[in-house]
Amino acid sequence: MNIRIRLMSILVGASGVAISLPSMIASPAVDQELAQQIFDTMLQVHGVQSGFRPVHAKGVVCEGTFTASKEAAALSRAAHFQGTPVPVKIRFSDGAPDPHVPDFSPEAGPRGLAMRFTLPGGEKTDIVAMSHNGFVVGTPAEFLALQKAVVATDPGKPHPWPVENFLGSHPLALKFVQESGGTAPASFGAEAYFSNALSPL
């Protein structure tokens, strides 16, 4: 395993795990504190690139109109499924924290898809998805432990590295690392995306 490439891909899990923080932690105060720890630890790996997000840094935003099929209204009462055209913004992105990584690089995965539907009356519905099916770990605390393992890993030191120990004891994280690279899709629109939770665009 090329650990440098995989370490960069691991960070993308933030986009999935951070989305689910409110539902996974009981107290809002603890939620906010843990989310801040995760964010601060992630920045220790790559630092801050002015004007860019810490993950999924490179993307393109498209605007259009979403019109649900006639069958959608029978499946959901959601406002954007009732057949009326709804404005939508979509952001396709590479997963890498480095905005200069080429789209075809193994470091660019997994790809992201974020959608914002503007509903009648000004309300909004947001959906976030990525090309990996599942979360990198099961809890925010585990994700913080993963980020700390990445920070503590020095490729100049002998194996096993802290991140290797973590991956060895967390099969979901290992699966994420193994599946997040690979070749680029023919287009972002042809990629399969999996939505695990809701989050702002």
Set 46, 56, 100, 170: catalytic member: 56
Does 80 participate in catalysis according to the annotation? no
User: Under DSSP, is residue 65 helix (H, G, I), strand (E, B) or coil?
Assistant: strand
Pairing between strand 59-66 and 112-118?
unpaired
Task: For helices 140-152 and 28-46, give the axis angle rounded to 10 degrees.
Answer: 20
127, with CB counted inside 10 A (0-12, 13-18, 19+), is middle
75, with CB counted inside 10 A (0-12, 13-18, 19+), is exposed
The neighbouring-strand residues paired with 63 are 89
Catalytic residues: 56
